Amino acid sequence: MQKRTALPQAFADLGIEVRFLKALAQMGYEKPTDVQREFIPLILEGKDVLGQARTGTGKTTAFALPLLQRCEPSDRLQVLCLVPTRELAVQVSDEVRRLAQFADLRCVPVYGGQRIKAQLHHLGRKPHFVAGTPGRVFDFLQRGALNFDALRAVVLDEADRMLDIGFRDAIRDILKRVRHPHQTILCSATVEEEIKRLTQSFARNPVEVDVSRDELMVEEVEQWRCTVDARDKFRLLKAVLKEENPSLAIIFTNTKAKAHKIARRLHESGIDAKELHGDLMQKRRERILGSFRKRHFKVLVATDLVGRGIDVQAISHIINFDIPQDTEAYIHRIGRTARMGACGKAITFVTPEEGKELTEVEKLTNVLVEDKQYASFVPRVFEDEAPPSAPTQASRYQQSVFSEVDSNDVPTSAPPKTLGSKFRPRRSRRR
């Protein structure tokens, strides 16, 4: 006889109905997080909300769960959720589908990079919830494929990120199309002046909720740094993966080319790793992310562009192969681990020239990141090693090219190439 799963009473106390409690129990939820405890009652009451919440706090469930409960299965599109990236559109849609598995409610993601015909087909099935990027949503509005007549709520998830990457005009154009009273929910990691102006324009007496916490959730993340020469990074990476033996790990790089090279060299070293970056087709990215969630492989090499769309539970390690150029990105990176109150580790590789960048990270997190050494990694001394002064542009280029290769692949003092006798100019004959 199959054991019956107990329904999470803590969510029932917030006003969640049995059909959604069943889904929460199956998804492993027991107690609501801070953002869920604050959001759910307010949204169930129909109030507009301006919420400040960091990544990894259960924010999607916090707004999606009460909005789904307010939906009528017999009606058309009732919730529109705008998100900054394709990955987040898919992530939100997947979460909504799991929450609505015992309710007769449908959700569809819409985003660029996928065939319009296929998305139009899914929209033709009259979904109740749409999660999409502003550009594609506005495109479908102009085509007449989206109808806002029955819309009850609009969510702007990661509103600060959407404004940063230039969606402000598309967002305003979309919100102006909703001409009847509706619920507006804005979720943002930071509430800048532009977010406040957007709220004043489109929300009605919003309730402000701040569960971002000053400590930025770093207390659940064990942070370390490893000082290493740029040419020795890949050897160190292999040592870290060997000694840490992560259950799931994400390796972050600053460029797509480096993500590709690291994933390839890890695979050549016998470590099953996949790359995830903007140069990959959307379907392939979804396939890779799905396999990672199912633990078909343990190591994912990603860039910051797609990093914010990675919502995978039980990631044990974040490895910053490159220290991020934007200090705020460090928070988003380590936010991939220690999700929903779990613990995690963040290990950052720092070259001798990157002391300033490390200091900025420590100031932002208010944590002194201590040095860590690995027994299987012995730093090498390079003959052409320069003193720890500011690197030139040429040396930075060399580091970026050779940072992920072993020393055997690093060219030493090779003689300059010549054109050879074949290309020497012909001598003119004497007359």
Task: Give the other-Cβ count within 10 Å of 89's Cβ.
Answer: 27
Q: What is the pLDDT of residue 338?
A: 62
| pLDDT for position 253 | 95
In the β-sheet with 273-276, what is the strand arrangement from edge to edge? 273-276, 299-303, 249-253, 317-320, 344-350, 221-227, 370-371
**Residues 299-317: b if buried by 16+ CB within 10 A, e if exposed:** bbbbbbbbbbbbbbeebbb
Domains and CATH numbers, the chain: 9-210 (3.40.50.300), 218-377 (3.40.50.300)
Q: Would you say residue 419 has pLDDT above 50?
A: no
pTM exceeds 0.95:
no
Q: For 406-415, what is each residue's pLDDT tens digit? A: 444 444 444 4
**Please, are residues 162 and 132 in contact by the beta-carbon 8 Å criterion?**
no
What is the model's pLDDT at position 269? 93
Average pLDDT for residues 318-331, to the nearest whole number? Answer: 88
Q: What is the pLDDT of residues 390-411, one digit of tens each?
A: 444 444 334 443 344 444 444 4
- Which pLDDT score, from 0 to 100, does residue 416 have? 47
